[in-house]
């Protein structure tokens, strides 16, 4: 038996399909991937509110289940006009349509719900599989649409489900794929049933259109640091891999490569740092004291939480600032993190954050951020959503300097950076005595997840300890910039 998700998996990779059936224990589902699954489930339930009065064919059953198909058949028979998770089986394929609605003509409109802001090309195959199975029941399908978020929707007051979602009719595209569906299904069913795993080399299909949850297993022969860590490889990684070259140090000296790749290659071979003092000196000359080393932490949900928010909007909830009055002076630390209570859903933190932020970043002096486009974007969004603060907020953006620039442009590169310019790679390369590994929270994603749970009143751990962990992590982000900038001054001294 094939499900829609297995067919989508098999179309991407035959090996992944076989492993999913025969060796599912090899899957590695990351926290990020699990969050995507969870969001999809929640959004699917929310979308049902756009077509109220329906009956869930999967209720009381563990899907996928033939009983869901029996329930669907019963609901169709009694004239139910809206069915959620309408389940159908045909030609060894079981599918469930998120929402099936009987229209004014007596035919049916089918909706596949996606937790995205727009239609994506893989969604078409997704719906084509469902259409192939549904029409075997002689149901008259007038239209097949993907229901996704309306990216123009801005929440004001209660959530407006009708405005939150919009639909894209893809009936024509779905019909164009129908002729090939039987052949695709037969091929994948045969692969699924064969006794041995298909021999299939790794390739771009491991990540497109979705990152495969068997990637760790299939890529176990790839070194931790490899040609796939070349900076912006532009297919050179696959070209080298196909030549049997896995490690950057093994790339032939005469191999044609760009300047950044050459720098990375030479650092790996010689172990020497690459430093362009003139460029670093010019970069540092733009700094104006006092310097404010600044970093945001944000949370993001698919569904807008507050007034003046959009789907998947990054909501700043925390920041850290190290203020350095003059060159070589001791830094003053300032921070913001709203107080939250256990079991209580907290209000929008942004306006309180803004009032502290404008005060703590002063009116003059450089604001140093790492990968500053993120901070720039968040500040501009705050100015848009809280226009009464737009003037002081937008004034901040004019003072921001991106500390990542010398490393992204390879003016300063060491082999320990492993082709990356993120603070998580640059800090241990330049200041090995400082490490995120000593912290309870070690990355922004974990900080976001923990605070969101606390903010929603759903965190089950110790709140004071969790708050301390969040503050420690964000403080290290800005202190790391202090130490990295010191290293830049040292190399031009």
Choosing from 193, 208, 236, the residue where a domain stops is: 193
Residue 403 sits in a domain whose CATH number is: 3.30.420.10
Residue 32: what pLDDT? Answer: 83
- Asked whether the predicted pLDDT for residue 450 surpasses 80, the reply is yes
What is the crossing angle of helices 181-193 and 4-12, to 10°? 90
Residue with structure tokens 């962990």? 469
- Asked whether the predicted pLDDT for residue 191 surpasses 80, the reply is yes
Question: Is residue 34 very low, low, confident or very high in pLDDT (cuts 50, 70, 90)?
Answer: confident
**Residues near 395 by beta carbon (within 8 Å), at least 6 away in sequence:** 363
Tell whether 260 is covered by a domain. Answer: yes
Q: For residues 55 and 106, state if they share a domain.
A: yes
Q: What is the rounded average pLDDT of the residues 462-474?
A: 96
- Between CA 420 and CA 40, with CA 206 as vertex, the angle to 5 degrees is 95
pLDDT tens-place string over residues 372-410: 999 999 999 999 999 999 999 999 999 999 999 999 999
Q: For residues 241 and 305, state if they share a domain.
A: no
Per DSSP, the residues of 396-425 read HHTTEEETTHHHHTTSEE-GGGTT--SHHH
Decide: residue 260, CB within 10 A, 0-12 exposed, 13-18 middle, 19+ buried.
Answer: middle
Q: For residues 265 and 283, state if they share a domain.
A: no
Q: For residues 392 and 467, state if they share a domain.
A: yes
Q: For residues 39 and 112, state if they share a domain.
A: yes
Residue 32 sits in a domain whose CATH number is: 3.90.320
Residue 65: what pLDDT? Answer: 80
- Asked whether the predicted pLDDT for residue 64 surpasses 70, the reply is no
Question: Is residue 86 very low, low, confident or very high in pLDDT (cuts 50, 70, 90)?
Answer: very high
- Asked whether the predicted pLDDT for residue 62 surpasses 80, the reply is no
Tell whether 349 is covered by a domain. Answer: yes
Q: For residues 327 and 459, state if they share a domain.
A: yes
- Torsion angle defined by CA atoms of residues 58, 60, 65 and 67, in that order, rounded to the nearest 10 degrees: -90
**Within 10 Å of residue 411's Cβ, how many Cβ atoms?**
21
**Within 10 Å of residue 203's Cβ, how many Cβ atoms?**
13
Number of domains within the chain: 3
Contact call for residues 113 and 47 (beta carbons, < 8 A): yes
Residue 420: what pLDDT? Answer: 98
Q: For residues 325 and 424, state if they share a domain.
A: yes
- Asked whether the predicted pLDDT for residue 241 surpasses 90, the reply is yes
Q: For residues 373 and 340, state if they share a domain.
A: yes
Query: What is the domain range of residue 387?
Result: 278-492
């Amino acid at each position: 038996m094939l499900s829609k998700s297995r067919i989508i998996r098999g179309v991407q990779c035959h090996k992944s399909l076989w492993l999913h059936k025969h060796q599912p224990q090899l899957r590695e589902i990351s926290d990020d991937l699990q969050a995507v699954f969870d969001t999809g489930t929640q959004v699917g339930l929310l979308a049902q509110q756009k077509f109220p009065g329906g009956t869930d064919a999967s209720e009381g059953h563990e899907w996928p289940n033939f009983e869901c198909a029996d329930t669907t058949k019963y609901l169709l028979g009694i004239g139910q006009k809206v069915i959620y998770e309408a389940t159908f089986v045909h030609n060894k394929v079981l599918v469930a349509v998120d929402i099936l609605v009987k229209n004014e003509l007596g035919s049916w409109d089918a909706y596949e719900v996606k937790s995205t802001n727009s239609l994506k090309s893989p969604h078409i195959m997704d719906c084509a599989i469902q259409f192939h199975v549904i029409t075997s029941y002689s149901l008259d399908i007038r239209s097949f649409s993907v229901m996704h978020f309306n990216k123009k929707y801005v929440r004001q007051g209660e959530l407006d489900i009708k405005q939150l979602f919009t639909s894209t009719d893809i009936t024509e595209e779905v019909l164009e794929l129908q002729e090939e569906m039987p052949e695709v299904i037969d091929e994948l069913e045969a692969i699924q049933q064969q006794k041995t795993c298909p021999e299939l080399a790794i390739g771009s299909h491991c990540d497109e259109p979705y990152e495969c949850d068997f990637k760790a297993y299939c890529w176990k022969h790839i070194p931790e640091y490899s040609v796939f860590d070349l900076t912006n490889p532009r297919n050179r990684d696959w070209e080298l891999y196909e030549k049997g070259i896995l490690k950057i140090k093994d790339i032939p000296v005469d191999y044609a490569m760009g300047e950044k790749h050459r720098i990375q290659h030479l650092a790996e071979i010689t172990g020497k740092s690459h430093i362009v003092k003139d460029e670093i000196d010019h970069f540092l000359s733009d700094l104006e004291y006092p310097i404010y080393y600044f970093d945001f932490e944000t949370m993001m949900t698919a569904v807008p939480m507050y007034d003046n928010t959009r789907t998947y909007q990054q909501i700043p909830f925390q920041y850290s600032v190290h203020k350095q009055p003059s060159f070589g002076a001791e830094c003053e630390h300032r921070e913001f993190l709203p107080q939250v209570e256990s079991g209580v859903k907290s209000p929008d933190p942004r306006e309180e954050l803004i009032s502290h932020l404008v005060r703590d970043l002063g009116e003059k002096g450089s604001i140093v951020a790492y990968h500053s486009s993120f901070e720039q974007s968040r500040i501009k969004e705050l100015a848009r959503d809280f226009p009464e603060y737009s003037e002081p907020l937008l004034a901040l953006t004019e003072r921001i300097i991106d500390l990542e620039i010398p490393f992204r442009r390879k003016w300063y590169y060491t082999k320990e950076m492993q082709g990356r310019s993120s603070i998580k790679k640059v800090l241990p390369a330049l200041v090995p005595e400082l490490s995120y590994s000593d912290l309870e929270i070690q990355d922004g994603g974990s900080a976001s997840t923990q605070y969101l749970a606390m903010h929603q009143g759903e965190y089950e751990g110790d709140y004071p300890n969790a708050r301390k962990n969040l503050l420690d992590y964000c403080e290290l982000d800005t202190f790391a910039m202090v130490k990295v900038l010191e290293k830049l001054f040292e190399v031009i001294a």
